[in-house]
A and B are shown apart, each in its own frame.
Chain A
Amino acid sequence: MGIDRREFIRIAGLSTLLGLSGKGAFELLRPGQVEAAMEQAPGALEGKRWAMVVNMQKLDDATASKCAEACHRVHNVPDFHSPKDPKDALDPAVINRYEIKWLWAEHFHNAFPGEEQEMPEKIKTLPFLLLCNHCNNPPCVRVCPTKATFRRDDGIVMMDMHRCIGCRFCMAGCPYSARSFNWRDPRPFVKDVFPGYPTREIGVVEKCTFCAERLAQGLMPACVEASRGALVFGDLLDEKSKVRETLKKYFTIRRKTHLGTNPQVYYIV
């Protein structure tokens, strides 16, 4: 028995309807999620371009070292001066070469080389807190051959340790020395392991990530929390953010702007 044209068109039409509405029908009959999914955590901080302002008028040596300590503690950054086991002690000649730093303090002539003559004498001895500038035009991202470092849409220059092959091109590309290479296994030098964050392995490059893992959980960066108001963090493209208000009020400078990397860490001097 064949089918005539009318019958064929009827069946084709019905199948089309079913095909188009099949998924909707499932949703109607059995509501709720069918597949596993990845979702945003409730309360995550979202921004269009994260930026930080360092208020040098409020920052003294004690606060600066406190910020660095807080950062290095929650990210399991090793301190090669004090190994857990005295047997692992390093040759003093290599301790400085192996140093790993996410956040650290330098004097003005190191932080802003070549700009000393433009600034008043009194700021030359202040502890300028230095970190990854999360540039808008990051040279480290351009040179990374594996896309292990990349710029997120919210402006954070992120590291994917899983992809890093340790070629150190990014360290050569970064004009701020914000990146450190793991010349040796850092684990024996992490005194109090912070359980919520991984350590690193020998052979990868690491740096500040603006505490991306904390932002995703709705927390401010660790250094900002420890700074007693000397560090301000927020969304530069949000007009009401604290960063914007601070930038409106004060004159700020940025590091090595002539290089065109457009750094996103501002210093009130």
Chain B
Amino acid sequence: MADNNYKNEFGFFAERPKVEKKFYDRNKVIAGLVIFLALVTLPLWPNLGKTIPAPQRQLDTPVIQKMAEKDRQCLMPTEWMRANHMQMLVDWRDTVVRSQEQGAPSVREFVTPDGRRYLASLTNTCMDCHSNKVQFCDQCHNYAAVVPNCWGCHLETGKKLAEAK
């Protein structure tokens, strides 16, 4: 039997020494665990069972209202933009800043599938129409607890570079 061959540095024992298994301070430990769990989950309790309504956004801006009905379209279909705008902005960022790193020409314009051309720029193109950042960006980002770091550098209002020259 393996148990009979129990060995320590002094040699063999006839039997494995018996050590009493005991849960010391059982009540205190369990009480402590319960308090710890309660504290950790404390922020969750007030919102338990509630549903937070989706933000009601006012997306009309003076610029959009001034446009003719048929011109009121974003670069891509609205559904697509809702799902993919972040990827598009990252793509714009990388191509505009780094396109000439590997010999590509300095691309600056975004061409939509139906051939409209736009300057690829968050401040100068997106915020031109959607000039209400609080309604257009922040409401949803706050609701979804997303913190994009665009606004540390990029300005909320922009004019087209060409106009500002």
Contact = CB atoms under 8 A, between A and B. Distances in A.
Interface string B76-105: 100000000000000111010111111101
Interface in B42-59: none
Contact of A39 (B93, B98, B107, B124): B107
A229 to B, nearest CB: 19
B99 to A, nearest CB: 8
A154 B161 contact: no
B115 A152 contact: no
Contacts of A196: 123-124, 158-161, 164
B43 to A, nearest CB: 29
A152 B93 contact: no
Interface residues of B, number: 41
B101 A152 contact: yes
Interface stretch (B11-19, B28-36, B60-68, B147-155): B147-155
B contact patch SS: mixed
Contacts of B5: none
A219 B123 contact: no
A38 B95 contact: yes
A contact patch SS: loop
Given A46-B105, A150-B101, A153-B100, A213 B111 contact: no
Contacts of B111: 33, 36-39
A104 to B, nearest CB: 22
Given A32-B115, A33-B113, A153-B100, A199 B108 contact: no
A33 B115 contact: yes
Contact of A215 (B75, B93, B106): B106
Interface string A24-57: 0000000011111111110010100000000000
Contact-residue size bin, chain A (C-beta under 8 Å from the other chain): 35 or more
A200 interface: yes
Contacts of B155: 193, 195, 198-199
Contacts of B113: 33-36
Interface string B136-165: 000000000000000011110111111011
B119 interface: yes
Contacts of B76: 36
A150 B97 CA distance: 10
Contacts of A153: 100-103
Contacts of B158: 195-196
A195 B122 CA distance: 12
Contacts of B91: 38
Given A36-B110, A161-B153, A198-B123, A217 B162 contact: yes
A238 B155 CA distance: 37
A158 interface: yes
A249 interface: no
Given A32-B115, A34-B113, A199-B153, A41 B159 contact: no
Contacts of B97: 158, 160, 162
A40 B153 contact: no
Contacts of A143: none
Nearest to B93: A162
Contacts of A160: 97-98
Contacts of B161: 196-197, 213-214, 217
A194 interface: yes
A46 B98 CA distance: 15
Interface of B: 75-76, 91-93, 95, 97-103, 105-115, 117, 119-120, 123-124, 152-155, 157-162, 164-165
Interface of A: 32-41, 44, 46, 150, 152-154, 156, 158, 160-162, 193-201, 212-217, 219
The list of the 4 closest CB pairs from A to B, nearest first, reads A152-B100, A201-B152, A196-B161, A198-B153
10 contacts: A33-B113, A33-B115, A44-B105, A153-B100, A154-B106, A156-B100, A162-B93, A196-B158, A199-B155, A201-B152
